[in-house]
Chains A and B, each alone.
Chain A
């Protein structure tokens, strides 16, 4: 296991560096300057700023300079939020997105798996059809529609929760529900289809013939192999949901990291964009690793192969 982990970690380093270099390159070759404002900028001032922030010289020189700084733990300064380092921005924003994302992730799995199992146990019956329709609905409604409707009903219709803001627990309820709901549907459908497939397998038929109860059959025997597709899906989902959502953060005024993906690109704030991409990349690699590890635990065939 240790060898496996070490090998995966070592192979991740070039992946991260390549992603960073590509990200830096794409933002730098996009037209427009990070220092441009509606007021004209003196060319000398622009040249001075480029020099100051390490954006002078050729693109390969800039990338090498940036890569070297990253390896020394320096992600650079934000070009738009003057006087702020990228590390400082991430350190303030990421925990908020992590908190919101963790709740949404727990909700997505916590609601999706039981719903899927319940529907699979009633395969092709009315509750299964209902649940399928609900899952499809949650999948199809975009967040930018779901969130304002939720605010309308639960903040103004029945004033249960605040419509936006950050700082109190009730303010977390609507954004985490809206963030989780589309994934609840996906998780439910993946669990349901996995269980239906597994319950048709020979070993389940054997268990059933031996007189194992339906509840034990699903929860003990079938669920474990049935959630494998869900585990494969949950890894990238965790990385994406934990690094924030632009729409949810904007609608609910959540000061998370999600907004910087888009505003950073718009502002050509190359260090900020690269910083948040780095976080996303590391989280994605980490959760892929966790997914592989969980798959090995859940599926004895994979364990045997490795």
Chain B
């Protein structure tokens, strides 16, 4: 009886619903001797879309499944809306999930699929169908409710999965690589749809992906994971401009890892020598001596008019890609990958060039390297 009335009240107060937070406190998950998630702590603020990003096998999906209650933490605490849910089973948590394979029940119609959540909670069939129709309309699939899932296209199936996850208006919505089964063009549109839906409904969303571009595009916050631990958390801007370590610098966007020499520190800025060049950069806690820097491909400039006293290099390879031109440049500080936009004529391979760096953005000292 209890669950029934709560489901009703949720559906009536759809727009007023308070988003909730998710908190991990030193959560560890072990399978036998293998540690899949190693003492991870983070907080997802209410109403935010947070991405768990990392290469395959880094523990991001396990983390997501622990939020859902499909895996149980070996150690640590998981809180949703400040309530301890560590030992609650998936059915008892107010969390829904959109699966990578969509997991639409093949023996039910689209409508039955979406109405499944309320109907197993004891909501009368008629009301459950009404709730399902409401969500199908929201997601733009009205008119297809009688179809079987196998009669829909991949994109439509994905939207049915989203509607099914939304129908109970969960505190937290989880996405497990939702775009991996879509083609490249559709991917961009669907991720925008998801972002829009999340912002309109003020949902708390955790989103797993291994695609850094997708993560940068949709997230309020990104949690980068590597080898069962968190490598860095931050906004997309922070991760791209100020990577905390070599892994993040390399994983988010393309980066040239360059060795430099930190000469002196004055206030927040440091004097760094790279090859023959002097740069003023935020020191980010690095001390004097050799340092590693991450330079984004578009923060390196090439000039065909070579002057003395600059860093000299030679173009090795040139790829013309329409909006941009990509170069492989041989230089005294190593081979560099350079991207230039809005250039009319590509520089021919073998041309000697002068190399310089942007100082406002795109080059950063990596503190933990």
Say if A and B assemble together: no
Partner-A contacts on B (CB < 8 A)? none
